[in-house]
Structure formats: structure tokens, C-alpha cells
Amino acid sequence: MRLKRKRGRKDKFEDLMDGIEEEDEGRNWEGGWGRAKKQRSNSSQGWDEGKRKREKGKAKKPSRGKVKRVEKVGKRKIKKEKLLKEEQEMEKDEEGEKGVGSEEQRVGKGSGSGKGVEKEEEVDEKGNEGLGEGRSSEMGQEVKEEKDEGKGDTQVEEKKKKKKKKKPEVETEEMEKKSEEEETPGKTGKRKSKEGEEKKEEEKNNKKTKKQKEEEKEAENKWKWWEEEKKEDGIKWMQLEHRGPYFVPPYEPLPKDVQFYYDGKPLKLSLATEEIATFYAKMLDHEYTTKEIFQNNFFHDWRKEMTSEEQEIIKDLDKCDFGEIHKYFVDKNEARKALPKEEKQKLKEEADKIQEEYGYCILDGHREKIGNFKTEPPGLFRGRGEHPKMGMLKKRIMPEDVVINCSKDSKIPEPPEGHKWKEVRFDNTVTWLASWTENIQNTLKYIMLNPSSKLKGEKDWQKYEVARRLKDVVHTIRAQYRKDWKSKEIKKRQRAVALYFIDKLALRAGNEKEEGETADTVGCCSLRVEHIQLHPQLDGQEHVVEFDFLGKDSIRYYNKVSVEKPVFKNLQLFMKNKDPSDDLFEHLNTTFLNKHLQDLMDGLTAKVFRTYNASITLQEQLKALTNPEDNVAGKLLSYNRANRAVAILCNHQRSIPKTFARSMQVLQEKIDAKKKQVEEAQEEVKKAEDEFKDTKEAKAEVNVEKKKKLLKRLEEQLARMNIQATDKEENKQIALGTSKLNYLDPRITVAWCKKFGIPIEKVYNKTQREKFAWAIDMAGEDFEF
């Protein structure tokens, strides 16, 4: 039996050698070793590739997968060398039998950790070391094999047993692992989900880092205009080149199966009439179309655009049925939302192409982004609040309505084919690129640069610098208006009281308006007697003035304020013998007020007081509310509270969002789920601690630390969610964005972030960071407004 087994192995080896030699005889082996080396390298390349794939995909056995991917000669050579290696291992095992260690040490080492696989890979790689070396080793092995023939078959048998034993060990471990998982499916599932969450979080952080790197790169390439010398007063630019505005595409007629009905009968409308009908149909589910003034204005303007035949038929809006048209646009909108990803991508690419062509200009040799490069589409005017002109037709803007502004040496933008510009100007004292007059209120509309551009940034910087200068003279101004409360001139008294309100309450000055042209909104100078009530005593306070009026954008201003006694007495005097509709400050207007302020400080207007008071309030509130010991979420809550104080001062209100209740419910559900996770994690920590007390093993101690870390992370997440809920609730009726973008010097925020280690992106989003790049670059943590 021993002889047969040995001869069988040897015959197999010799047959393999003969096959290779016969195949080699029919070939031209010029430069023999070089060619052999070449074949070896091909074979080796296949092995390397196999190894890489195994490492990536964790294949079970490397050898078979490798053999299939190599050339014919490479295959045979590998088989041959593998047999030789097996013989070598058998000899080594025989020697190791004499006292190297237990069978488990010789066979089982690394079976659970993957080291066995690594060893096999090493053997395979070594077997590919050049055909020359291979041949010499083969000859040596043949001689050695003959010498060892008499050593008996015990070694071979034991080797086989060991090889067989190796596989079951791995299988047993896998089975044990599997059975453990089956016994505790919940724990395994949780572990996997936690691992998945951690992986996702890590990927998210990596992504964020990548985004931050991109932003940093963009910031490096950004034009730092604030480091350049300022131009002469009044000169805004030296070079301005652009493509002009992008005009809204022509109207596309409705499909034939979508009809308008009048008095229950279908009626084919002319193209212009149909287009205006679609404006109204699109708004059927909006509150505006229920308002009588909106309906009347629409129908009046619509009839003006009708043909004489249509005017004869369509005489009553109540008999018009826009339902089918409305349904068509609703379905079209839903279909657009349901478009496959590829189609949405195509639409995005088309929009990006338009943006690339029309959305940028060249300003003083730098490429700058344009803010609103499209003309306003035609439609129905809405207005703010109860605007008297709501429902009127906003006409389509044509090139003949547009004035272009650019530099003389630039390429003047071409108007659309068959059209011409109203005018082309070369005015470098203004910042707009194109303008036109809209037909509803006859006001000028402009195409301007993006808020992140040099022209907008310079304007912001200048605005906040003027407000900072007010800080040096504000005490003098306050002393002056207090003195004027007792003036013999009623005009001075009214000016002084109005200035007190603008300073203390951050009221807008209020401009003069033509009656019936706009909504009934007022500011400080245009207050009427009906807008205030005087209370000598109210809610435990003396000299209380109750304000109730509609401010900018028809937002109600309601406030009860205790004022100084001279102010209260002056208001009583101003209201004496007046009707509710009479002006409170009949001797005052914004022009007179601002002229007085200009005399007090260069560049000072009523609006500067609003900017000054907003910024100084933020700075004071941040100092009072920020706790250096708080975590990032706690400090951000303090920032939002400081910002809210400013928003309340400036009356930046908003209606409660429709989705507020639902979003709060979702957030509360998340908080409840997180609380449950925290409780479970606390139990896990307790179990791990108990286990460590019992075993005192290092592994158990590591497990305790791991569970504690998880608990800490979950508690931090819960704290952040609770803060978010508080913040959301407190801000539901306050618009923080308006003051943050328009009234607060961004350098205050930047300095606060740098001082307390808050990432700037936690306070400003990407668009806002681009807008305030100048402030982020120049403000240090010690900046004072």
C-alpha cells in the first residue's frame, strides 16, 4: 500500500513534467530563459490579480480561482510546484513530529483568524518565482523524494488527517458563530444596524470633509476684492460685460383635449386670451382667487386682451369654467415630480447650460455670478396683504422694454432675433446690468449681481461701517432729541419724538405713498392717530403707548411700550382735536427727517439706526447668553436666542408654517425613540459592568468602555434633539433670516464663532458664507462692533 501511494504521487508528478517537456519541444526556445521568464511573469500577473480580488471580495480559496485565470503553461507549472510544496510540507511535519508542539499548534493555528489563508497565498506567490529556479528545485525535489521513499507512509497519512482536520475546525467555528446569532437574533440585528449607522455616519463625515475641502479651495480662488485699493467715490466698476437678460420662452398653447367652458359650453379662445386664462386657472386652489378685488382686477384686464368676438360672449366671470385647465396643470406638475432620475438630470443640465450662458458676467476682469438673470414671467399680480392692485395682469417683458448697461469696450449683448433693446448705456456709477419698468406700479426692476459679488459685498461692508460710526455719536444725537422734546417749534418736537421711536423701537421711517396705489402700510413718519392708544397706566407700568398698524409687507406691528414722560405728553398734544384718520406727525416726512440726520453725521439716515440697534443688540445678547462650558448645540441655541431678540426688536414676524405641527410631531417621535435607545444602552452598560466584576477579564473591560462610549454618544444625540425642539418651538413665529442677512454685521457672528470654536457652517449656509466671505476673512475673535 505504501509503495502504491508513493508511486501514484510520483507518477502524477512525472506525467506532469513529461507533458510540459513535450509541449516545449515543439516550440522555438531561442533565448530560452528570457522567454521562460516572460511566461512566468504572465502567470505571476494572473496570481497577483487573483490575490487583489480575493482581498477585496474575501474569496474562500485562492488556488482554484487563480488557476482558472492564468495561461495554459502557467496552470501546469503551478500544479507541479504545488505538488512539490506538499512533499516539502510533509517532510517538515515529519520533523516537527519529534517535539515541536501539539497537533493543534501545527494544524489549527490561524484557522479562525485567516492566517492559514495568508500562508497559502505566500506559498503560491513563492511558487511563481521564475522558471529557472523552479526547474532546479524540481530536480532537487526528485532526488530528495527518492531518498525519503523508505521513511514510510505514516507522514503522508498524518498530513492528510491534518488537512482534513483543518477544514472542520473552520466550519465548526462558523457553525458556532451562526448558532449564537440564531440564539440572539435581536442582538445580532441591533449590532448590525448600529454598525450600519456608524458606517453611514462615518461616510457622511467623510463627505462633509470633502465638501469643506472643496469650499476651502473655492475660497482660495475667490476674488478678495476687499484687499484691493478702493476706487474713486461714485465709480463702481471699470469693465462690465454680460449676455443680457434671459427672456421667458413663448407661450405654448393648451392641448386640443383641454378646453375652457363658458356657461357650460366649450369655447375656443385666441392665443393671448388663452394664455391669460391659464394664469387664473393655475391659481384656482389659492386664496387669492376667492377675493373679490382679485377677481375684479383680473376680469377687467383679461377682457382688455380679448378679441371683440370674445368680448361679446364672455361677460361674467362666474360663468367661466377653468376646471379642466387647472387639472391639466396640476397633472403636468405631478408628472414632472414623478419623472425618472435620468429625465430630471437632463432638465437640470439644460438649466445649468442656461445658467452658464446668462448667469455670469465679467466685472473688472473677474467672473462674477448674476443674481436674477431671467426676466419676470407674465402672470397675475399678487402683492402683499390687501393690495388694491392684486389680480391685475403683469405683461410679458420684451427686449424693447429693456435698458442694457455695460462698459464701452465690452461686447454689447445681442437682443433676441427680430428685436432690439430700448437703450444701451455705459454708466459705471450704477451697479445694475439691465432694467425695465413693470406695468403694475410703474416701478423700475433691475438685473443685479449675486449677493456674493464684489458690488453687493462692498455695499454691505459700507452699510455696517456707517452703522459702526453711529456708535461714536449716538449719545450726542440722543441728548439732542431729548432737548428738542421741549422745543417751542411743534415741527422739531414731532421730529424728536419720531426719532425716539426709530431709535428705541427700531421702527422704519415710512415713505410717502399715493393713496390707492399700494396696501395701507405705514412707518413711523406716516403713523395716523388711529394707530396708537395712550394709557397713563397699564399692566403696572406708567405712560404706556399701544401701537397697532400694518408695517412693511402688510405685517402687523403690535406693541405696548412704556415711554418717557415728555414723550407721552407730546403725543397727547399731537393727538389733540384730531380725527383717527389724521396724521400723527403732520409736520414731518422722511425727507425732512433724513436731512436733519445727515447734518448730525455724514451718511446717517433713519435706516442706519435700525442696522445699528440690531447689530449692537446681537453683540450684547451674545455676551450675556453664551456659556463657554456649553457644547456646540447649547451655544447655537444661545446664538439663535440672541438673533431672536433682534428679530423681535425689528418685528421680523412670520405666520406659523403649515407643516409646523407635523414636523414637531416627527421630531418628538425621534426624541422618544432616542430616549428608548438611551435606556437600552444604559442597561447594556450595567450588564457589561456586572460581567466585568464577575470575570475581571480584559475583554470584558474593553466591552464596558465600548458600551459607555455608545451611551455617551446617544445621550449627546438626545440632548441635541431636545435643543432642536426648543429652538423650533421658540422660533415658530419669528423670521431669523431677515435680520441675519440684512441687519446684523456678519463680523459679530464670525468673531463669536472663532472665539467659542463654533464651525461657521453651523451658523451660515454655503450661500451665506459666499455672501459674507469678506467678513469671514477679515474678522478676528476680538472684533467689536
> Does the active-site annotation cover 743?
yes
User: CA quadruple 763, 767, 768, 769: dihedral positive or negative?
Assistant: positive
Q: Which amino acid, residue 694? A: D
DSSP 214-260: HHHHHHHHS--GGGSPPPPTT---S-EE---PBPPPPPPPPPTT--E
- HSE-up of residue 89 (Cα within 13 Å, Cβ side): 18
Measured distance CA(527)–CA(524) in Å, rounded: 6
| Strand locations in 519-628 (E) | 532-538, 541-550, 556-562
Residue environment code for 193-230, b if the CB has 16+ CB neighbours within 10 A, otherwise e:
eeeeeeeeeeeeeeeeeeeeeeeeeeeeeebebeeeee
Alpha carbon distances (Å) from 248 to 184, 512, 675? 63, 34, 52
The answer to whether the CB of 394 falls within 8 A of the CB of 275 is: no
The answer to whether the CB of 432 falls within 8 A of the CB of 447 is: yes
754: cell is 472663532
Residues in Cβ contact with 69 at an 8 Å cutoff, skipping those fewer than 6 apart: 46, 49, 50
Q: Which amino acid, residue 733? A: Q
Residues 579, 584, 589, CA angle at the centre, nearest 5°? 135
Nearest to 568 by CA among 541, 540, 544, 539: 544
What's 452's DSSP letter? T
The answer to whether the CB of 534 falls within 8 A of the CB of 545 is: yes
Nearest to 427 by CA among 686, 289, 237, 268: 237
Look-up: residue for cell 407643516?
659
What's 601's DSSP letter? S
Nearest to 144 by CA among 92, 96, 94, 88: 88
Number of H helices, E strands in the chain: 26, 15
Residues in Cβ contact with 777 at an 8 Å cutoff, skipping those fewer than 6 apart: 224, 226
Number of neighbours of residue 22 by Cβ within 10 angstroms? 9
The answer to whether the CB of 527 falls within 8 A of the CB of 594 is: no
Catalytic residue chosen out of the listed positions 280, 557, 612, 743: 743
Measured distance CA(421)–CA(398) in Å, rounded: 9
**R_g of the chain computed on alpha carbons:** 41
Measured distance CA(285)–CA(297) in Å, rounded: 18
Alpha carbon distances (Å) from 701 to 36, 688, 708? 57, 8, 11
Measured distance CA(598)–CA(644) in Å, rounded: 31
- HSE-up of residue 143 (Cα within 13 Å, Cβ side): 5
The answer to whether the CB of 501 falls within 8 A of the CB of 524 is: yes
Residue 645 buriedness (CB in 10 A; 0-12 / 13-18 / 19+): buried
Enzyme catalytic residues: 743
